[in-house]
Structure 1
Amino acid sequence: MLLTDIAMLMLCGSIAGFLAGLLGIGGGMILVPFMILVFNHLNFDQSVIVHMAIATGMATILFTTTSAIWAHHKHGSIDWKLVAAFSPGLVAGSLIGGSEIFEALNTSWLSLFFAIFIVYTSIQMILNKKPGVGRELPGKLGLFSFGAFAGCLSSLVGAGGAFITVPFMLWCNVKPHVAMASSSGLGFPIAAAATIGYMYGSWDYPNLPAGSLGFVYVPAVACIVAVSIFTAPLGAKMARKLNVAQLKRIFGVMLFFLAAFMFNESRKAFGF
């Protein structure tokens, strides 16, 4: 990689880490459009660029969520029994989504799916809508089933899962601060299983550049993590001082521009 590529990845990593701590998101999806630009600049094969961007972004979540987990754990905010109950399903779904389904999707459909997901996330950010309280958490089978669905979906878009696990926990009458903190704990098994799935499912995939472990581009992970692990705690600290609801709306508008970029990538992949 050139120095400009390293600088762009580190800059994006610092921003993604800060926003991850500030807004409680994994940060992986923020990186995807920028990594596509870098990977294009590095002349990676077009058939693997989107897959590599999503897989590499998910791999970085392993490190950003670790720092977030530690911060929440120190305050006793994480319900570890809840994390343990969700994790088997999350791991199973993430492994299946990251290895079987992810590789089967071609670049055009994966780009379109990711763009639609960003639009959905941006609308959630702008509205900042809190789901109504419904009932208690389901039993082991229900938690496993929902966890498998959440893990599979998260692995397809390179997200830590908070976009779906937090609303579900709130709907099941889990206290908001516990749901937000526990989502960090849930993000780790999702990221770990999905990353393993990405690497396993694409280990012998053709046209991968040097420095790749399957779809995960290790040099990019190193550049991003080198800064994101320091900016994530700063974002978490800043969240206590700022109007996060207003920031979510601003960030939601920014996501629309990222969605437009991904829709354009999908258009080019489809040949329109």
Structure 2
Amino acid sequence: MEGLLTAETLYLALGMLACGAVAGVLAGLLGVGGGIVIVPVLYTTLGFLNIDPDIQMHIAVGTSLATIIPTSISSSRAHHKRGAVDFSLIKIWAISIVIGAIIGIAVAGQVKSPTLTAVFAVIALIVALNMLTNPNGKAIWQSLPDKLVAQPIAAAVGGFSVLMGIGGGTLSVPILTLFNFPIHRAVGTAALFGLLISLPGTIGFIYNGWGHPSLPAASLGYVNLIGLALISPVTMLFAPLGAKIAHSISKKALRIAFGIFLLLTSIRMFSGKLF
């Protein structure tokens, strides 16, 4: 019995490490903070471990947000070295992104796991279709909206990102490119958005899940420390590689890769047959 438990633990650890490597590359490549990979993988893993279905998605989202904190730092630093982080845009969007994240935390504390899963799947599908039907990133508007119009957009990015357990790039990159913002610069800036979202998001999910009777071992609220310990260092290690790749391929290839990955993730979420 002990051998089986040891083997299961080893397989879980290897899976988390692999998840961290893929998430790190995607964080640097797409500015997505890795959450778009981490959430479905963790959700599936928790299902195999027979964790209470009512909190599976909450733990996946909360743990994902926690791993995004160091990943976003690593990814944004790598992009900053290449001059791809727009700090003037950060100043305009930052406060509203944080406010949106706080609203998302409040909502997440009131809904059940299937609702969070549906939010993830629907938004991922919308973004995927946009990226695949507009692979050249054709802008609808020729410039970014003024500061007043930008605030609800930034708040929506923060709020829905927290509900999905992602760093913000999944939403902000396609939105920025619709406003004729260069995609490589959008990816770099989105990496820093991830830090603004993941910090309050992590604190909120710890608070929301504190003392829940069905939490798995080594959990701090809805943040599982085992997943955090295994995934986070690897995502930091691989994020610079993703950033390097992002600056070596075409805009069209970057958008198509992003769209295909999101489409597959969404389909698996809807089908309930993740990975």
Q: Match for 1:65: what amino acid?
A: S
Give the C-alpha shift of residue 6 in structure 1.
0.7
Match of 2:3 in 1: none
Q: How far apart, in 2, do the equivalents of 1:252 and 1:180 lie?
A: 14
Contact 1:22/1:244 (CA < 8 Å) preserved in 2? no
Q: Gaps (5+ residues) in structure 1? A: 267-272
Match of 1:109 in 2: 115
1:22–1:173 distance in 2 versus 1, CA, 3 Å: closer
CA distances 1:77-111 after superposition (whole Å, capped 9, x unpaired): 3222321221111111102212x101212122222
Residue of structure 2 aligned with 1:133, choices 124, 134, 141: 141
Match of 2:100 in 1: 93
Q: How far apart, in 2, do the equivalents of 1:174 and 1:126 lie?
A: 18
Q: How far apart, in 2, do the equivalents of 1:249 and 1:169 lie?
A: 16
Give the C-alpha shift of residue 167 in structure 1.
3.9
1:16 aligns to 2:23 (yes or no):
yes
Q: How far apart, in 2, do the equivalents of 1:173 and 1:149 lie?
A: 19
Q: Gaps (5+ residues) in structure 2? A: 1-7
Residue of structure 1 aligned with 2:67, choices 60, 65, 86: 60
Contact 1:16/1:31 (CA < 8 Å) preserved in 2? yes
Q: How far apart, in 1, do the equivalents of 2:18 and 2:39 lie?
A: 13
1:122 aligns to 2:98 (yes or no):
no
- Paired residues in the alignment total 264
Give the C-alpha shift of residue 245 in structure 1.
2.9
TM-score (norm 2): 0.86
Q: How far apart, in 2, do the equivalents of 1:149 and 1:193 lie?
A: 15
Contact 1:23/1:244 (CA < 8 Å) preserved in 2? no
1:232 aligns to 2:202 (yes or no):
no
Match of 2:223 in 1: 216
Contact 2:168/2:194 (CA < 8 Å) preserved in 1? yes
1:170–1:260 distance in 2 versus 1, CA, 3 Å: closer
Does 200-209 or 215-224 show the bigger shift? 200-209
TM-score (norm 1): 0.86
1:149–1:242 distance in 2 versus 1, CA, 3 Å: closer
1:202 aligns to 2:209 (yes or no):
yes
Does 230-239 or 77-86 show the bigger shift? 77-86
Matched ranges for 1:4-83 at <5 A: 4-83=11-90
Percent of pairs with identical residues = 33
Match of 2:249 in 1: 242
Match of 1:269 in 2: none
1:137–1:253 distance in 2 versus 1, CA, 3 Å: closer
Contact 2:30/2:258 (CA < 8 Å) preserved in 1? no
